Structure 1
Amino acid sequence: MGTTTEMKQLYLISFVLFLSSLVHGFTDEELQLMNQLRTTCLEETGATGQAVDDTKKGIFPPDDDKLKCFFKCIWSTMSAMSDEGEIDEDVLQVLLPADLKDKLYGLIVKCKSAGGNSPCDKAYNIHKCIYNEDSSAYFTP
C-alpha cells in the first residue's frame, strides 16, 4: 500500500466509515482508519492533536497555520478539495453516506464560500463555519 492512489483510496474509505459511524458508533476498524488519517495529517502539517481536539469545543485559533493546513490535508486526502482550496461537490455526493448527506452536504456547500487567502485558510474557514452553523454536525478526525 505505498502508492498515493492507494493511500487516497484508504483515506476515502476511512472517511466514509467515519461519517457513517457518527450515527452508528465506531468499530475498532473505523477508529484505526481514522487514527491513521489523523496521524498522517498531523505529521504532514505539524499541527497538534490538542489543537485539532479543541476545535470540537469551538476553539479555532486564528493564527494557527498548522491547524489550518491540517484541515486542508484532510479534505485534500479525501480528494474533496483541490490544491487551490476549492470543494468538489461531486466528490462530496459520493463520500457522504445517505443518512448524513442532507445535513452535512448542505452545511459544506453553505460554508465553502467562507473564503480565505490560501487553501489552508479556506479549509479552516469551512470547518469553523460548519461548527458555527451546527456544532452537533461538526466533526474532524
Structure 2
Amino acid sequence: MTRGASGRQVSAFQWLANWLLVGGWCVLVYALCAGCQRAPPRRDDVYPPPDTLAFYKPYAEQCVTETGVSVAAIKRFSDQDIFEDDQKLKCFMECMFRVSNLTDAKGEVHLGKLLDTIKPEYEDLALRMGAKCMKAKGKDLCERAFWYHKCWKTADPVHYYLIGP
C-alpha cells in the first residue's frame, strides 16, 4: 500500500492505473495540440517558384478543362487539407502528370524527369519529400496520381504545392 495525493492509502495497482490514465490523457492532449500547431504551407514571393507555376499554368488550364475539377478543389488540396472524395481532382493530378510527360503507362513517376523540372535549390527538398513515395498504389491512373500527391503532402505539408491555373 502507498499513499495517494489525497493522503489515503491505495494499492500499487490502483496507483499505477491512475498514473497510466493520467499519462494516456497527456499523450492524447499532446497529440491533439501537435495537430493544431501544424505549420502553414509556405506561400511567398519565391515559393512555390513563380517560373515553375508559370511554366505549368497552360498544362493546368488544359487539365481543368479536361477533367472539370474546380479551381477551389485544387487550392484546397494544395493549401489546406487532404480529402479523398473528389474524383475530378484525382484525374486532374493524373492529367498534369500525363501532359507534362512525367509518368509511364502504369502511372509510375519518372523520377529523373521530375527532378529535371525542379530548380537545383529545391532538389534536396523534393528528394526528402518523395523518399517514401516511390511505389504508387491505386486501382487506376487517377488513384495512382492521387497517391503520389497525398504521400508528398503528408511527407512535407509546408513545401508541398499542387499547381493550378
Equivalences for residues 40-55 of structure 1 within 5 A? 40-55=62-77
- Between 75-84 and 31-40, report the one with greater CA deviation: 31-40
Higher share of residues assigned helix: 1
Aligned residue in 1 for 2:88: 66
Unpaired stretches in structure 2, ≥5 consecutive residues = 1-45
**What is the CA distance between 1:96 and its match in structure 2?**
1.8
Aligned residue in 2 for 1:104: 126
Q: Which amino acid aligns with 1:22?
A: Y
Aligned residue in 1 for 2:153: 131
**Contact residue 59 and residue 100 of structure 2 kept, 8 A:** no
Match of 1:71, SS state, is: helix
**Contact residue 72 and residue 120 of structure 1 kept, 8 A:** yes
Percent of residue pairs identical: 25
Per-residue deviation, residues 26-78 of structure 1 (Å, max 9, x unmatched): 36xx6554432221110111111111111023433322111001011111222
**Contact residue 92 and residue 105 of structure 1 kept, 8 A:** no
Q: Judging changes above 3 Å, is the alpha-carbon distance between structure 1 residues 44 and 121 closer, same or farther for their aligned structure 2 residues? A: same
Q: Which amino acid aligns with 2:156?
A: D
Q: Which amino acid aligns with 1:26?
A: P
RMSD of Structure 2 on Structure 1 (CA): 2.1
Aligned residue in 2 for 1:22: 47
Match of 1:135, SS state, is: coil
The count of residues paired between Structure 1 and Structure 2 equals 118
Unpaired stretches in structure 1, ≥5 consecutive residues = 1-20
Q: Which amino acid aligns with 2:132?
A: K
User: Following TM superposition, where does structure 1 have runs of at least 4 consecutive aligned residues deviating by more than 6 angstroms?
Assistant: none
Q: Does 1:92 align with 2:92?
A: no
Q: TM-score, normalised by structure 2?
A: 0.62
Q: Which amino acid aligns with 2:85?
A: D
